[in-house]
Amino acid sequence: MMTSTRVSTPFTNETTALEVVRGVDLTGRRAVVTGGASGIGVETARALAQAGADVTLAVRNPSAGQEALADITATTGNDRILVAPLDLADLGSVAAFVANWDGPLHILVDNAGIMAAPEMRTPQGWEMQFATNHLGHFALATGLHPALAAAGGARIVSVSSAAHLRSPVVFDDIHFARRAYDPWLAYGQSKTANVLFAVEATRRWAGDGILVNALHPGAIRTNLQRYVSDEELERMRAQTGGTAGAGYWKTTEQGAATSVLLAASPLLDGVGGRYFEDCQEAGPNQPGARTGYAPYAMDPEAAERLWRVSEDMLRA
């Protein structure tokens, strides 16, 4: 049963992922976390493991994945953690992951991503941030649809960002073929795509028991910012009305909390196609603020168009 009331929870921007799963039992549930070897990904995986789930870390670097596996097992006592290779920019890698998956999948956390990268392209000519942050996850989720449907009540978590406020999906030139490349506009566009995916996937798949929500995790220092200097981060933050300083950066444990809420909390039963931040469902963005969602990111027509465009790209 889909609910339309805006979701509020007892959690805050300071809540940690482990606090979200306190009292939650995921025994018998199977979860995949992309980018599960570092940053908020490993803390998302740790919390799901703490709650008893079988967790697969889908990672580009298997050796880093094995280190994360050992760490998660040591801290949670859960030995049902696996590592599987996944490069979201390589459709062959995504197809191999899908082909190797067997049985139902209850939780898919689309967490991996790149931010504000210099201009790079896939062999298909796709802009790398859109290809990694959206198209790779789109191919993964659609490929795993039978496994998600078989779970009888699956959840997909689409990790977006407040950076989606920087740009809609520019359908006339998604891959910057004609406009000058801007790393932040490219990142913002890919993060808008993450929200639109949640909207359209819920519309298409709710009947299969699959619900999808998107979120902004907050500002967290991780290797996501490998291409961005501290000065650049502060400049971009100031441009969007944010303030640096005490209380601005979340820990990775706090940054993973909203992902874990959407993946595991009974408070999200029956909820799909929404956008969350700081463990609460967000409302529309207000001019000058860096919170809430842009109307274009929740536009059902844009969501349906993106789905069709994405399918066409993957077929080409």
- Spatial separation of the C-alpha atoms in residues 259 and 263, rounded to whole Å: 6
Q: Which two tokens stand for residue 166?
A: 């920087």
Residue 248 catalytic? no
* E strand or H helix that includes residue 301: helix 300-315
Q: Which two tokens stand for residue 241?
A: 């009305």
How many Cα atoms within 13 Å fall on the side-chain side of residue 143?
21
- Beta-carbon contacts of residue 177 (< 8 Å; ≥ 6 apart): none
Residue with tokens 């566009």: 189
Angle between helices 183-205 and 300-315 (to 10 degrees): 100
Marked catalytic residue, from 181, 187, 248, 275? 187
| Percentage helix, strand, coil for the chain under 3-state DSSP, each rounded to 5 | 45, 15, 40
Q: Per-residue b/e over 174-200, b at no fewer than 16 CB within 10 Å?
A: bbbeeeeeebbbbbbbbbbbbbbbbbb
- Spatial separation of the C-alpha atoms in residues 47 and 107, rounded to whole Å: 13
φ, ψ of residue 85 to 5 degrees: the values are -70, 140
Catalytic (active-site) positions: 187
